Amino acid sequence: MSPVTLIRGANASVTNLLPAVSNVTVGFSWTVVQSNGPATEVVACAIVCGQDGKAVSGEHVVFFNQMLSPDEEVAYDPDGSLPGGDLEQIDVSLAKIPSNVMSIALVLYVNPDLRTPGTFDGVRDAVVRVLDRSGAEALRYEIETKDVGSTSAVVAAELYRRGNEWKFRAVGQGYAGGVRDVAKNYGFTL
């Protein structure tokens, strides 16, 4: 099966593409342009959202410092040997997601602790993709650097529930205020 490549704003059904799959992996990759200043460190995270589009709680923000959501349906994968060129991965057990969860925002941000005020200007080839557990790619979205270059956080994509179906949307929404603006938008504190 060839992966479906999406453009910004497009969506596709994960349920239809992977009908027998209840667990998926979201892979993130990018390239950082080397500079003479501090290196840009990009971080991936997932925000598990309720019906209001906000994080269910602060514990529902999954990243390297909080690696598992409370219901264990979303997990940050710290493995250093990731398949397919992914730099970070987040595992999602679609079958375990409680009915009050409507979406999972998939975010990339420049770590503000290591580079201030770092932006995506130095980031190229950013990709978010959905894989089945065997590592086969089903969906991919190549984030346009021109759309997010001067921002320091981007909601790259979203997994969302539509009836009994799970879908994937290519979002590409940059936030100039970085992860703090993302937190404000999704209703959690850092």
**What pLDDT is stored for residue 115 in this prediction?**
56
Each residue's pLDDT tens digit, 112-122:
666 556 788 88
pLDDT number for residue 83: 63
What's the confidence (pLDDT) of residue 150? 84
pLDDT, residue 121, reads 83
pLDDT of residue 75: 96
pLDDT at position 77 is 87
Q: Which residues of the chain have pLDDT under 70?
A: 1, 36-39, 79-83, 112-117
> Chain-wide mean pLDDT for the chain?
90
Give the pLDDT confidence score for residue 35 in this predicted structure. Answer: 72
In this structure, what token pair is assigned to residue 74? Answer: 């979303």
Q: What is the pLDDT of residue 81?
A: 56
Q: What is the pTM of this model?
A: 0.93
Q: From CA 82, how far away is CA 65, in angstroms rounded?
A: 19
User: Across the strands, what pairs with 123?
Assistant: 32
**Where do the structural domains in the chain lie, given as residue ranges?**
4-186
Return the pLDDT at 135: 87
Residue 77 contacts by C-beta under 8 Å, 6 or more apart in sequence? 25, 88, 89, 90, 91
Burial of 165 (0-12, 13-18, 19+ CB in 10 A): exposed
Count CA atoms closer than 13 A to 18's CA, side-chain side.
25
What pLDDT, on the 0 to 100 scale, is given for residue 53? 96
| Alpha carbon distance 107, 156 (integer Å) | 5
Decide if domain 4-186 falls under CATH 3.10.560.10: no
Do strands 153-162 and 11-13 pair parallel, antiparallel, or not at all (unpaired)? Answer: unpaired
pLDDT the model gives residue 32 = 85
Look at residue 37 in the predicted model and tell me its pLDDT.
67
Q: Exposure pattern of 15-45 as b/e (b: 16+ CB <10 Å)?
A: bebbeebeebbbbbbbebeeeeeeebebbbb
